Amino acid sequence: MKHKKKNSRRMRKKQQMLLQKNKNIQCEVKEINTEWLSMSHIVVFNPILKDTMEVKTEYLNRLKRYIKISGRDRRKYESSALKAYERIILANENVGEKHDIEFYHHYILLDMLHILGYEIKDIPIEKIGSIRKEYCMEFSRLEEKTEFEKIINAVKENERKLIALSQDSSFSQEKNYIELIRRNKAFKNKKPYKVMVTATMSAGKSTFINALAGKYVCLSQNMACTSKIHHIINKSFEDGFAYEYDHDLVLTAGKEELLKDNELNHTDKIIEAVHFDGFLNNQRIIVNDSPGVNYSGNEDHKKITDKLISKKEYDLLVYIMNATQLATDDEASHLEFVKSVIGKKPIVFVLNKIDEFNIEEEDINQTIKGLTEYLKRKGFKNPIICPMSAKAGYLSKQTKKSVLSKVERRELYNYVDKFEDMKLTDYYGKNYKKIQVDDTEKEEEQLLKTCGLAYVEKIIVKLATGGK
């Protein structure tokens, strides 16, 4: 009897630990499952985008009807997803190859399952039956019932079932679409690696986060704009869209939504999701952006950040330091606090704005050596120090997908020349021998390596995948 009670207590304790673990790795909100925000839009690869407006309208009407039958049409995520589908599908007015609605009988079912987050097990069997009845009536084909079941079961089950479905000759047209669903499901099911970013004012924290994402998701300026915590989620693949949850959930968010806080949001959270460009692109990562700790305009910022760091609901702390303003009183105070609460959590010190060094008058290696000694005196043994320029890294990523302004292009090539002379690669090659970054022929892309950002991303990947 005693043995059974002991096992029972052990089991309860294990369950409690698991529940707490699951709670910690999520940036949960009541109205939506934030895991779903890691899934990219599949509809951007749907041939419906180039069909006639008549067929598009019919497609959307049927899709909305199926979601309504599921009983999920009024939930925040599903209703937002439908709005996004409408915007994406109707936006393209260029008609390509025309099809009748029957051509899309598998696509529409796959889209329905995507909007439902692939969580078919949570929908009552009778509702699934009603959708099947409606679907088979609208697509009057003898085999539809069987094909409906094949798709439902494959999405409901595991990755192996989806691979088998994509290889089924009945679904050869939709093979790539099914593959996108497989990628979304696999990515969503990964355990997220949570990175907390902290800094004092003017260290370049927002620019650093923008550089990691390769997208302009944080407002970069020398003042604290908000006391809210920004959670930036990496999406499974590039779909050309950003998501934002800020009171409203917008799955086709533009700059206006991303860079302006919604006054109706009375919570302490803003959640954004984009596909990260760079070496973090395949990582299920969540970056938590904390308010600047020494903003004189709002003392609550420090309290919020201190609380976040103290809770330790992250896997890695990235501490951004301004290479031109080291060892300030504010910096010393924040470092002492971090040391007092961080415990055994790994920490990476990013020595940002290294591009502002005058290499003819200042010795970068001596600066890093001095910072190392300073951090050791603060109690940080063998600190990981990463000199870099977030601004240069961000511009380097932009060259692959957008046209830079004349000012930005001039700035970019100044960085190219400057970082060739700085030879940060020698520092990383000497101190982090396990971190390998390949060279590229294009000097604009090579800048990603020479400015240090590529090494920082590789170090994060190393830590995220269990390396040291």
146 shares a domain with 183: yes
Q: Which residues contact 350 (CB under 8 A, 6 or more apart)?
A: 208, 318, 319, 320, 321, 386, 388, 390, 456
Q: Can you tell me the distance from the alpha carbon of 116 to that of 174, in angstroms, rounded to the nearest whole number?
A: 19
Q: Looking at the structure, tell me whether residues 144 and 167 fall in a common domain.
A: yes
Pairing of strands 193-199, 285-289: parallel
Task: Collect all residues with Cβ–Cβ distance below 8 Å to 14 and sequence separation of at least 6.
Answer: none
Give the residue with greater pLDDT, 93 vs 211: 211
Task: Say how far residue 128 (Cα) sits from the centre of its chain.
Answer: 32
Residue 381 to residue 385: CA distance in whole angstroms: 12
Shared domain check, 314 and 282: yes
Assess contact for 55 and 101: CB atoms under 8 A: yes
SS3 9: helix
Q: How many domains does the chain have?
A: 2
pLDDT digits (tens, 9 = 90+) for 447-458: 999 999 999 999
CATH number at 353 reads: 3.40.50.300
- Cβ contacts of 113 within 8 Å, gap of 6 or more: 120, 151, 152, 155, 181
Q: What is the pLDDT of residues 254-309, one digit of tens each?
A: 877 666 665 555 466 889 999 999 999 999 999 998 877 655 445 677 888 888 89
Q: How many whole angstroms separate alpha carbon 62 and alpha carbon 85? A: 12
Residues 183 and 197 both lie in one domain: no
pLDDT band of 222, cuts 50, 70, 90: very low
180 and 213, same domain (yes or no): no
Residues 176 and 282 in one domain: no
Residue 167 located in a structural domain: yes
199 and 305 both lie in a single domain: yes
Q: Are residues 140 and 228 located together in one domain of the fold?
A: no
Indicate the pTM of the whole model: 0.88
Q: How confident is the model at residue 161 (pLDDT cuts 50, 70, 90)?
A: very high
Note whether residue 5 is domain-resident.
no
pLDDT (mean) for 181-192: 95
Pair (220, 87) in one structural domain: no
Instruction: Evaluate whether residue 11 is within a structural domain.
Output: no
For the segment 20-71, what is each residue's pLDDT rounded down to a tens digit?
444 444 555 666 788 999 999 999 999 999 999 999 999 999 999 999 999 9
Pick from 419, 413, 414: nearest CA to 399: 413
Percent of the chain clearing pLDDT 70 (strictly above): 86
Question: Are residues 122 and 229 both part of a single domain?
Answer: no
Per-residue pLDDT, averaged over 200-228, amounts to 79
- pLDDT reported for residue 272: 94
Residue 270: strand pairing partners: 230
User: In whole angstroms, what is the distance from residue 318 CA to residue 348 CA?
Assistant: 5
Residues 179 and 320 placed together within one structural domain of the fold: no
In this predicted structure, what is the pLDDT of residue 9?
A: 55
In the beta sheet, which residues pair with residue 319? 198, 349
Which domain range does residue 281 map to?
Answer: 193-238+275-464
Q: At what angle do helices 105-115 and 144-156 cross, to 10 degrees?
A: 30
